[in-house]
Amino acid sequence: MSAMLATDPGGVPAAGEGGEPLLRVRDVVQEFQLPGRGTVHACSGVSLDVREGEALGVVGESGSGKSTLVRSILQSPRPKSGQVLFLGQDLTRLRGKELLATRRHVQTVYQDPFGSLEPRWKALDIVAEPLVGYGVGDRRSRRARAAELLEMVGLDPAVHGRRRPAQLSGGQCQRVAIARALALQPKLLILDEAVSSLDVLSQSQVLILFERLRTELGLAYLFVAHDLAVVKQVSDRVAVMYLGKLCEVGPAQELYAAPRHPYTSALLASVPSPVPGRRARAPITGEVPSALDPPSGCRFRTRCPRARDLCAVEAPRPRTVNQGHTVACHFPIDQPEAAT
Amino acid sequence: MTATTPAPKGTQPEGAGEGAALLEVGDLSVTFATDRGTARVVHQLSYSVGHAETLAIVGESGSGKTVSSRAVMGLLPPAAKVTGSIKLNGLELAGLPEHEMRRHRGRDVAMVFQDPARSLNPTMKVGEQVTEAIRLQSRTAKRQARQQAVDLLGQVRLPSPERRFHEYPHQLSGGMRQRVMIAIALAGSPKLLIADEATTALDVTTQAQIMDLLLDLQTEYRMGLILISHDMGLAASYAQTVMVMYAGQAVELAPVGELFTGVRMPYTKVLLDAVPRLDLPPHSPLPVVSLRAPDLTRPAPGCAFAPRCPRCADDCRQQDPVLEEHENKHFWACFHPEEPATAPTQAAPVREAAGPGAAVPGAPVQEVRQ
Amino acid sequence: MTVQAPEPLTRPGTLPAAAVPLRPPRSRLRTWLRRRDLDLWVPGVILAALVVGCFILPLTGIVPDPMSGDLTQVLRPPLSPGHILGTDTIGRDVMSRILYGGRTSIEVGLAVNAIGIVAGGLIGMFAGFRRGVFDSVIMRVLDVMLAFPALILTIVIATYLGASELNVIWAISFFSIPAYARLARAVTLKMREQVYIDAARMSGRSDRAILLRHIAPNVLPQLGTYSLLQVGIVVMIEATLSFLGAGVGPSQASWGTMIATGQTYLSTNPSLVLVPSAFLFVTVVSLNLLGDGLRSRYGRA
């Protein structure tokens, strides 16, 4: 890596191996006011951890609150309540320069490859922008570092670096966005539906890139997506969200093979698999309730085949069912059934 | 093998249903004049769909799958040049003037589009849009048509259809809007329904519901169904026949079972292997693929996939492979197809490992994390 | 209604595999013209010729004085020896009055829009970016300004200030500034929501840097293409003012004044009205076509 980045102005202590998690989200609540219609309960008390070098996948459908969660972590806007501890510092309490200094270690890659890049700039300038923003190096060293980053993501600085986003494909734009995100040597990369807008083949290549970068740079990922298979491919652990709450968190392989929460199970059973033959009928009926008026108690109870009276009265708290595997359900699936 | 001889009609795949095909597309080609030259968007496409058959057309964006279906519907802009034959129940649709095409749209063939938010009129009540569709197809009195519309909304399993009738599109969820779109498409009782990425923008649980609905309606109305998608899983789960398109051409066409267990065309194999699978463990290896997309304005001689094909040989670059029936009902356009022995994709051997007992949290992961 | 919390719609596989998406064009004639850039060249050449004629030719001395009339050469028709477009009621050469009048029109057109872009653009950008009280106050002031009937107020202001080119510029600017401010604000509001602005903030850029490096470069081109259409309108307004006597005054040549004085001779010497009208027409149409052509190429920010 370039020598100019040796000094870290942030002064943030590094997490020890197996010690404090890199990111600790505690009871984050986020709400939006819709004038005349009430409050949207986008995120209602979500807690999760991301350890150093770990890939945590967050999966959920529309209305699950996963994108709101990401924005709350980044403090744009600040969550209504809760804590977001990054390397021991609570981001919700930081302002101005302090927030900026800590936030440099968390970078984001967004869903829209073209929309997240300044359309009038060349790729090299786009990648170098974080270095400008944080006042790192001089113009020449920034250009060198930007070229280095483009190579790291599989692009040719001499060819692609000079192009503007409109002259690049979706996959190439996303690589530029990744290179930009790596410029400040972050510890945590938030990938917000980062491959969802890409073609199948482009997506596969970007996923290969993510894997390589993670092992080479020791990055931690927070991978948010709606595609269950993609999330499984990328993640070590997976968290499932529904209507602003966490349903289940656990190791990827275990969660997918033997889901405990009825929603996780239904979700997995809904995914068409490339195994020929007519599949079973849709396991889940009805529509997602409105986030303006979520069901009392357990929010999934209106569509849950296992719901009973208790579910309407009391919201289930996360319970540990296995090492590192928690479920928020009063009546979780006991016998692990293999998902289709 | 000689290049460019179009597939003779006799070898076109027959539908799983009745003898005569509902839709027969022969040598369909579509070109556009663009700023950078003439783009060959669809090239010599031939396929057929039977009366109660489901055909899945699979490909990435730019493969020509959407344009070819719009050609069937006669919905291409005037700048598009269409050649070839499109026969619906024996009637030739290609080249029909607009006013004639309008008589067939909705009554014989209908389409459900990807984004219901953009396909529905935001200023018109949902029920009125369905009513309008009904009245366009037959001379029904308004009151009667309204009642039929409510019935139709119930048939597409829209909850509380009488109430929803009076609502606007923005008041409905994505899944509900798509049901309205389907109702509009069914207003004329079409014989052929084309679903163009109809569930792509929906959540996976909603997708499952809509797909169930489409298939139930197909059985009830005895329609031919064409599913256009980039999702191989969708094709595998819901279709009887699958056609894979690349750079405007059909590169493989087979009954669904044959395609997935005995994939031959290298592009299809790459497509299958590149998609993460639920039945594979995390951090599974994915195939490395060159991302040079074909330039439709400059079609190179030989196979369009040659620059990126792992099995490419010299003859692939010189001659254009033609879609031909090689095995029973299994067509492919390739000089060096995959061997049947290696054709089954990764799923089979690994499925044992993914069974319930084998899940040990943390163990497979740590190897990667060093 | 089932309301979802703000979540992006996810559409896998919607981006084209090829680098630049192919858009099916609307008609073949348009494509033919565009591919050869004719829709830019034709109006561009016309306007360039106009500029050369109005600003450069007079410097060479070929063009006679537009204000001094030769009373022996009154009301000569076009194609008379020595006077290509004829002479007017007091013997002044029509061609030279056209050229000097064109200069007036172009100067007014450019000046008004330059003032609009700079002043209006700055006001609009700040209002759109900062929002809050500042934005509300500014917008109300602009609303009031735009609520006045434009042409009438322009005439009143111009008459009040007195007949001169500079006063005409100020009078028309009164409406030009709010128009640009609204456009700049609208574009800024849209830009603010773009993901790359978020990304710039995450990259540590300050508000000022974002305005300067991200917002302004995207706002200016839109103001620019808008201005091309506006120049045509301003030229028309100046001609109207002069026609009504509230414009640059008798001391200066103007197409509007020429039409005004020529109208009484419409039946006998129609060229006195038709010639300046034709020039006005060609100028405004060329500006509009050029604006259209540029907008279809670069207008989508």
Asked if residue B319 has pLDDT above 70, the reply is yes
Q: What is the mean pLDDT of residues B113-140?
A: 90
Cα separation, A281 vs A264, in Å, equals 16
Between positions 16 and 75 of A, the ones with CB within 8 A of B are 53-54, 61-62
Closest CA to A94 of A70, A109, A74: A74
Q: Distance between CA atoms of A262 and A239, rounded to whole angstroms?
A: 14
CB < 8 Å to C14, chain B: 61, 200
Task: Please indicate if any CB of chain C lies within 8 Å of the CB of A44.
Answer: no
Are the CB atoms for A336 and A257 separated by under 8 Å?
A: yes
Q: What does the pLDDT look like over A92-150, one tens digit per residue?
A: 998 888 888 888 899 999 999 999 999 989 999 999 999 999 988 899 999 999 999 99
State pLDDT tens for residues B10-55: 344 444 444 578 999 999 999 988 877 888 999 999 999 999 999 9
CA distances from B20 to A237, A242, B12, B51, C109 (A): 53, 48, 11, 8, 70
The C-alpha atoms of residue A206 and residue A223 are separated, in whole angstroms, by: 13
Kindly give, in sequence order, each residue whose CB lies less than 8 Å from that of residue B160, ignoring residues fewer than 6 positions away.
none
Interface probe, candidates C22, C35, C297, chain B, greatest B C-beta count within 10 A: C22
Give the pLDDT confidence score for residue B328 in this predicted structure: 82
CB-CB contact of A50 with A220 (8 Å): yes
Closest CA to C164 of C246, C237, C221: C246
Q: Give B335's DSSP letter.
A: S
Question: What percent of chain B is predicted at pLDDT more than 90?
Answer: 53
**pLDDT > 50? residue B9:** no
Give the CB-side neighbour count of residue A253, counting CA atoms within 13 A: 21
Torsion angles phi and psi, residue A90, rounded to 5: -85, 110
Cα–Cα distance list, B105 to B71, B86, B186, B191 (Å): 12, 14, 11, 10
| Statement: residue B238 has pLDDT above 70 | yes
The per-residue pLDDT for B341 is 55
Q: Quick one: residue A221, left, alpha or beta (phi over 0 = left, psi -120 to 50 = alpha)?
A: beta
**Which of C1, C4, C297 to mutate against chain A (most A CBs within 10 Å)?**
C4
Q: Is A284 on the interface with B (CB under 8 A)?
A: yes
Strand partners, C36: none
Partners of chain C (3+ Cβ pairs below 8 A): A, B
Residues of C in contact with B61 (CB under 8 A): 13-17
**Contact assignment for A272 to B159 by CB distance below 8 Å:** no
Residue A80 has pLDDT above 50, yes or no: yes
CB contact under 8 A, C19 and A202: no
CB contact under 8 A, B236 and A276: yes
Strand partners, B112: B195
DSSP C117: I
Q: How far apart are CA C203 and CA C214, in angstroms?
A: 13
What's the confidence (pLDDT) of residue A1? 39
Contact C175, C146 (CB under 8 A): yes
- The single residue listed with the structure tokens 């040659």 is B306
Residues of B within 8 A of A253 (CB-CB) are: 281-282, 354, 359-361, 364-365
A227 touches chain C (CB under 8 A): yes
Compute how many other C-beta atoms are within 10 angstroms of the C-beta atom of residue B151: 13
Residue A25: pLDDT over 60 = yes
What average pLDDT does this structure show over B191-209? 92
Measure the CA–CA gap between A226 and A314, rounded to whole angstroms.
Answer: 28
Chain C closest-CA separation from residue A277 CA (Å): 24
Q: Pull the structure tokens for residue C87.
A: 């002479």
How confident is residue A335, by pLDDT bands cut at 50, 70 and 90?
Answer: low
Q: Which two tokens stand for residue A118?
A: 């300044």
Measure B265 CA to nearest chain C CA, in Å. Answer: 20
**CA–CA separation, C157 and C167 (whole Å):** 8
Tens-digit pLDDT profile for residues A305-331: 999 999 999 999 999 998 889 999 999
CB pair distance less than 8 Å for B200 and C31:
no
Dihedral of CA atoms A158, A162, A167, A172 in degrees, nearest 10, equals 60
- List the helix and strand counts (H, then E) for chain A: 10, 12
Helices (H), chain C: 28-35, 38-51, 57-60, 94-115, 121-130, 132-147, 150-161, 165-192, 195-202, 207-210, 216-243, 255-262, 271-298
Listed residue (C292, C250, C232, C57) closest to C162, CA to CA: C250
* Binding-face residues of B in 146-185 toward A, CB within 8 A: 159, 173-176
Indicate yes or no: CB of B201 within 8 angstroms of CB of C10.
yes
Contact map slice: B 191-220 vs A, CB within 8 A:
203-209, 211-212
**C-alpha B73: how far from chain center:** 14
β-partners of residue B332 are B252, B324
Helix, strand, or coil here: C215? helix
CB within 8 A of A225, min separation 6: which ones? Answer: A57, A58, A59, A191, A193, A194, A195, A196, A231
Residue B171 pLDDT > 50: yes
The two structure tokens encoding residue B62: 């730019």
CB of B369 less than 8 A from some CB of A: yes
Q: Can you tell me the mean pLDDT for A51-63?
A: 93
What does the block give as tokens for B320? 């254009």
CA distance linking residue A153 with residue A179, whole number of Å: 6
Alpha helix (H) residue ranges in B45-96: 65-73
Contact A110 C4 (CB under 8 A): no
- Neighboring chain C residues of A201 at a CB cutoff of 8 Å: 17
**pLDDT lower than 50: segments of chain C:** 1-22, 301
| Residue C9 in contact with partner chain A when CB distance is under 8 A | yes
- The pLDDT tens digits of the residues spanning A136-185 come to 889 999 999 999 999 999 999 999 999 999 999 889 999 999 999 999 99
| Burial track C249-263 (b if 16+ CB lie within 10 A, e otherwise) | beebbbbbbbbbbbe
**Residue A118 and residue C10: Cβ atoms within 8 Å?**
no
Q: Which amino acid is at B241?
A: T
Q: Is B192 helix (H, G, I), strand (E, B) or coil?
A: strand
Q: Residue C245: what pLDDT?
A: 81
**Residue C35 to residues B35, B37, B256, B296, C18: CA-CA distances in angstroms?**
6, 9, 45, 18, 20
Q: What average pLDDT does this structure show over A255-264?
A: 94
CA atoms within 13 A on the CB side of C295: 14
- The closest alpha carbon to B195, from B115, B102, B89, belongs to B115
SS (H, E, C) A127-148: HHHHHHHCCCCCHHHHHHHHHH
Which residue among A115, A133, A168 sits closest to C204, beta carbon to beta carbon?
A133
Mean pLDDT of A225-249: 94
DSSP string for A26-94? EEEEEEEEETTTEEEEEEEEEEEEE-TT-EEEEE--TTSSHHHHHHHHTTTTPPSEEEEEETTEEGGG-
The answer, for C25 touching chain A at a CB cutoff of 8 Å, is no
Omega of the bond prior to A21 within 30 degrees of 0, cis? no
Q: Is A289 at the interface with chain C, CB within 8 A?
A: yes
Which of B30, B41, B42, B61 to probe the C interface (max C CBs under 10 A)?
B61
Interchain pair B282, A204: CB under 8 A: no
Our CA-based measurement puts residue C140 at a distance from the nearest CA of chain B, in whole angstroms, of 30
CA distance B67 to B62: 9
**For residue B227, which phi and psi values (nearest 5 degrees)?**
-105, 120
Average pLDDT for B118-135: 92
Adjacent-strand bridge partners of A81 = A29
Give the mean pLDDT of A213-229.
93
Q: How far, in whole angstroms, is CA A184 from its chain's centroid?
A: 19
Residue B363's pLDDT band (boundaries 50, 70, 90)? Answer: very low
